[in-house]
Amino acid sequence: MPYHLLITDKKFIIANARVQNCAIIYCNDGFCEMTGFSRPDVMQKPCTCDFLHGPETK
């Protein structure tokens, strides 16, 4: 099976470790679907993904 077909079910972000807060520079469609955030909502946020933490987060 081709490699690109093996990673289609993965959800991930890529961050730039060379800038303060390690800003997110890419997120794939799987990450957007899983979180409910659009790509523009995620881009340039810190890679700690604090935007995913809410009042009900344990």
Structure tokens at 35: 């979180």
Residue 20: what pLDDT?
87
Instruction: Looking at the structure, give the CATH architecture of the domain made up of residues 3-52.
Output: 2-Layer Sandwich (3.30)
- Looking at the DSSP bridge assignments, the partners of residue 14 are 26
Q: What DSSP string describes the chain?
A: --HHHHTTT---EEE-TTSTT-BEEEE-HHHHHHH---HHHHTTSBTT-GGG--TT--
Per-residue pLDDT of the chain (58 residues; tens, 9 = 90+): 566 655 667 889 999 999 988 999 999 999 999 999 999 999 999 999 999 988 887 6
* pLDDT at residue 7, rounded to an integer: 63
> Which tokens in the block code for residue 22?
């390690």
